[in-house]
Amino acid sequence: MIEIVFPEAVISLFAFLAVFTTVFSKEDKDMPAYLSLAGIILALIYLWTLKDVSSQFFTFVFDYYAWVMKLIFLSVAFLVVLISMNYLRDYDDSVGEFYALILIATVGMMVVVSARELITLYVAFETASLSSYALAAYFRKDKMSNEAGFKYLFFGAFSSGLILYGLSLIYGLTGTTELTAISKILSIDNPLVFLALGMLIAGFGYKISAVPFHQWTPDVYQGAPTSVTAFLSAGSKAMGLAIFIQVFVIGLYSANVDWKMVIAFVAILTMTLGNIVALWQQNVKRMLAYSSIAHAGYAMIGLAALSPLGVAASLFHILTHALMKAGAFGVLAFTAFKGIGETVEDLGGLWKKAPILALAMTIFMFSLAGFPPLGGFWSKYWLFTSAVGSGLWLLALIGVINSVISVFYYARVIRAIYVIEPPKAVRIGQPVELTLAVVVCLIGVLVIGFYPQPFIEALLNAVNLILP
């Protein structure tokens, strides 16, 4: 019973410890990081033993779906802490809070996937969101970081308001906050349902940066410290999609409301805008922000398909996207931290400066562009097939066209890395922790690429469990 909240409890405890170290020494930048890593590893080990548990603790539900998602969130947190370590050693203020915020945000995300009830869901969601606003603005003396934090907070607060309004409307219409109960009661007789759905789509749309609620994304991704960008792109976005799945697929699955077409429409807008605007970006961080928008569009294809296959494909996309983006932003964290810069030209000749990271970045780009047999290819492939399986031919076709368009800008990054030969390129030391994190992502992308079967099975199981 109560053992199912232990992973969250462990992470919360270590978050506290990470802040606590700063009381004794602000100079020791590594101690809080090691504590965070230890906490995450403990939680991972404990979580692993809970694999087949299905149980409930008040409104906190633990099942296979929650287990899979928590594994993803913990892994992302682990990678982000590793990426941040080198980056933050040069920061001239205490860093304990940084790691604590990452851990707290992770706890929020982990609770989100265990919530099958609106209030729990909302509280957990806000826990994660508020921590990430602070993370985006963590570099207090950096104007860009401040701007990012402010924008993120402003838009985030607005979207929270929308979500809360939507949720309260649903509560008013049904008299319950349990998602499964809602799905039985809610029907389209009342026009207020559309208002509530609209608010929820807009509110969660902000979180996963779906068009037209995406405007904050490029500025926040570019301005935030790069390791935080990795966290936002890999973790926060995954949480947004998870909420989308829980509220819409569990709560409104059997409700007689046709929201599929709305999602399909938003998906088309999102991926097309993301990919086309990305073509013009010179700053790679900003380019990847638009690529993140495009990928949110792809992920929504699976939700529009609304079959077990489609929803599982969305989850699979969450996983591969998290690995690719954590890795890619990890490499950018390296270039920013070593003063190489973050525009496409700055990456020129990276193969000479940092061969391992250059190879990894290249493979992430190929994977994001959807070249087989890499992780990103399978998730796109699976999403498009699921759309076809649900009869959404046009959606799949537009997805494929988008995928071809995206090759153009990813190829620019690859070209810069390998083709350009700067006259005075010297080898730069590749920091151990960061390289380790990037290599872990790389291995993940390759393993999923060459042998996706176990991942596909696991996610199909998870989805079959939560779909009514």
Partner 1 sequence: MILSLILLFLLLGTVLPWLSRNDRAGRYLAIFFALLSLAASLYAYAIFDFSNTGFQLEEKAEWIPALGISYHLAVDGLSLPLVILTALLALASCIYGTDEARRDYQFYGLLNLTCLGTAGVFMALDLFLFFVFWEVVLIPMYFLIAIFGGPRKTYASFKFIVYTHVGSVIMILAFFVLHYMYLEQFGVRTFDFLDFAKLSVEPKIASVLFIALVFGFMVKIPVVPFHTWLPAAHVEAPTSGSVLLAGILLKMGGYGLLRVPLTFFPEIARDFAIPLAIIAIISIFYGAFAAMAQEDYKSLIALSSVSHMGYVLLGAAALTPAALTGAAFQMFAHGTVSPLLFMMAGSLHHKAGTRLIPQLGGVAHKMPVWAVFMVAASLAGLGLPFTSSFVAEFTVLIGSLEAFNVLALFVFPAAIATAGYLLYALRRAVFGPFNTNLHIHGDLNTQEFAAMFILLILTIALGVYPRPLLDMIDAYSVYFVGLIGGV
Cα separation, 432 vs 118, in Å, equals 42
Closest CA to 377 of 368, 390, 387, 388: 368
- Taking the complex as a whole, the smallest distance from the CB of residue 386 to partner 1 amounts, in Å, to 11
371: its two tokens:
């070249």
- Taking the complex as a whole, the smallest distance from the CB of residue 373 to partner 1 amounts, in Å, to 5
235 vs 399, beta carbon nearer partner 1? 399
Cα separation, 105 vs 76, in Å, equals 11
- Taking the complex as a whole, the smallest distance from the CB of residue 456 to partner 1 amounts, in Å, to 5
- Taking the complex as a whole, the smallest distance from the CB of residue 398 to partner 1 amounts, in Å, to 12
Q: Report CA 419 to chain centroid distance, whole Å.
A: 31
198 vs 373, beta carbon nearer partner 1? 373
175 vs 355, beta carbon nearer partner 1? 355
- Taking the complex as a whole, the smallest distance from the CB of residue 176 to partner 1 amounts, in Å, to 36
Site residues, partner 1 (CB under 8 A): 366, 371-373, 381-382, 384-385, 388-389, 397, 400, 403-404, 407-408, 411, 415, 418-419, 451-453, 456-457, 460
Q: Could you tell me if 297 and 270 are in contact, meaning their C-beta atoms sit under 8 angstroms apart?
A: yes
- Taking the complex as a whole, the smallest distance from the CB of residue 54 to partner 1 amounts, in Å, to 23
Cβ within 8 Å of residue 4, ≥6 positions away: 50, 53, 55, 56, 57, 60, 62, 114
- Taking the complex as a whole, the smallest distance from the CB of residue 389 to partner 1 amounts, in Å, to 8
143 vs 453, beta carbon nearer partner 1? 453
- Taking the complex as a whole, the smallest distance from the CB of residue 442 to partner 1 amounts, in Å, to 15
Q: Could you tell me if 395 and 268 are in contact, meaning their C-beta atoms sit under 8 angstroms apart?
A: yes
179 vs 313, beta carbon nearer partner 1? 313
End-to-end CA distance of the chain: 23
- Taking the complex as a whole, the smallest distance from the CB of residue 317 to partner 1 amounts, in Å, to 15
338 vs 415, beta carbon nearer partner 1? 415
205 vs 399, beta carbon nearer partner 1? 399
- Taking the complex as a whole, the smallest distance from the CB of residue 415 to partner 1 amounts, in Å, to 6
252 vs 417, beta carbon nearer partner 1? 417
252: its two tokens:
């409104």
Cα separation, 33 vs 17, in Å, equals 11
164 vs 428, beta carbon nearer partner 1? 428
Question: Dihedrals φ, ψ of 427, to 5°?
Answer: -65, 130
Cβ within 8 Å of residue 134, ≥6 positions away: 101, 149
265 vs 451, beta carbon nearer partner 1? 451
297 vs 370, beta carbon nearer partner 1? 370
Q: How far is CA 102 from CA 19, 220, 277, 461, in A?
A: 11, 17, 30, 29
- Taking the complex as a whole, the smallest distance from the CB of residue 414 to partner 1 amounts, in Å, to 8
